[in-house]
A = this chain, B = another copy of it.
């Protein structure tokens, strides 16, 4: 065994300690930390992130990764360590090009910007956030001039969240989807809507928690390697692959959202839990490709969870745990979870209109970074597109351009991954049914474990070692296309809405 590889493993283990701590600080801040804990958590986080930045950009690691890339050493590495060395090297070369002053300035801008966004959203006043958004855009450009000097900036932003994805591909598949979807949505909205009066009631939150437990267990969440908590917005976080956590937000006015949040976050968690355990917490473990990650959460949430057959084996149990559903037939429940509405808020949207919410954000981001549209014009642009795609106009900034926090912390290029996930899902569903046959009877017979096994074999277990386009090639044997998703939508909603 190479002494250099041993040293790399030590450094990797140290980086894992840093990330365990910083993830735990984040988890605590978002779940139960009282207000008074903010400063101490932030101080501890700064310290850990600085130490982690230093080690991950250190000269020692730089030299080590170079040495391990030399033929004599390289040839002795197994596939996983080849992947790890290559990935760490690419990542490090980018990070090392960011001057520490710029890195620190970016952190400070994000902190101020996140607070300004909260304030602006509260006041529903974009002008409070606008100057911070401008700074956030500028510092993003500045950082990209160091990390990706040779790449078009918006492509490099996409690449941050979905390695190897490019805007030419995204443009192509998003246009394909948008052009097919807008007429479908208009048809659906013009059709007779299901009666949702039974769902307008007060729900017991403790019952919602029990249903979450049932759902997570049913879809295969491993409780010995995961846990749950509550937070304002649901999220999934892995401290390490053997400690993967999901949160939910339970509400008295809505018991269905928390169910689908549970299945969605559970889909993320199951992915992390099912990566090949040999990869551990090394760069190969887990999945950093957010489109691929989202494909798994959305496959569970939408392709499986919004299929009436998913509920057949468990709906009676749900009714027992949550008696508010006792007078709701399975068919009524299925109609409601597939109820398409033109609505303002992305996170509350149904699976069909959701796509248009994301396309809108993608187009706004391109307007910012490609067309140089000034920040002051963005709310109007947003509202015009809402009208065009969904026929509705936000009454204020809070339900319009201020609704998401992603731009406040500089996560430009993140939104498209949500929709990439759904587009991949259409493709995965076709590949899966080619292998296993139609999923309807599999779900109806409670054989969801067979579906999970397929996803694990084809996708989960590979973790980071296959990049998004490689996943599509390996699983579907073709390039990204929105056609299967469109077909899935047309078929399913033609039935529900008798189109």
Contact surface of A with B, Cβ cutoff 8 Å: 13-14, 16-17, 20-21, 24-25, 28, 32-37, 39-41, 43-44, 47-48, 206, 222-227, 229, 239-240, 242-243, 281
Contact = CB atoms under 8 A, between A and B. Distances in A.
Given A17-B43, A20-B40, A21-B25, A34 B281 contact: no
Contacts of A240: 36-37, 39-40
A20 B25 CA distance: 10
Contacts of A33: 227, 243
Contacts of A21: 21, 25, 44, 48
A37 B243 CA distance: 5
Contacts of A34: 223-227, 242-243
Contacts of A28: 24, 28
A37 to B, nearest CB: 3
Contacts of A17: 40, 43-44, 47
A225 B34 CA distance: 5
9 contacts: A13-B43, A21-B25, A33-B243, A34-B223, A34-B227, A35-B224, A36-B224, A36-B240, A40-B239
Judged by DSSP, the binding face of A is helix
Given A14-B47, A34-B225, A37-B242, 18 more contacts: A17-B40, A17-B44, A17-B47, A21-B21, A21-B44, A33-B227, A33-B243, A34-B223, A34-B224, A34-B226, A34-B227, A35-B224, A35-B225, A37-B240, A37-B243, A39-B242, A40-B243, A40-B281
Q: Would you list the 6 A-B pairs with minimal beta carbon distance, nearest first?
A: A36-B242, A37-B243, A36-B225, A40-B240, A20-B44, A17-B44
Contacts of A242: 34, 36-37, 39-40
Contacts of A36: 222, 224-226, 240, 242-243
Nearest to A273: B36
Contacts of A39: 240, 242
A18 B4 CA distance: 30
A464 to B, nearest CB: 18
A9 to B, nearest CB: 13
Contacts of A223: 34
A459 B379 CA distance: 56
A428 B16 CA distance: 49
Contacts of A222: 36
Contact of A43 (B20, B24, B224, B229): B20
Contacts of A32: 227, 229
Contacts of A224: 34-36
A67 to B, nearest CB: 25
A384 to B, nearest CB: 42
Nearest to A228: B32
A239 B43 contact: no
Nearest to A240: B40
Nearest to A205: B206
A281 B41 CA distance: 13
A179 to B, nearest CB: 46
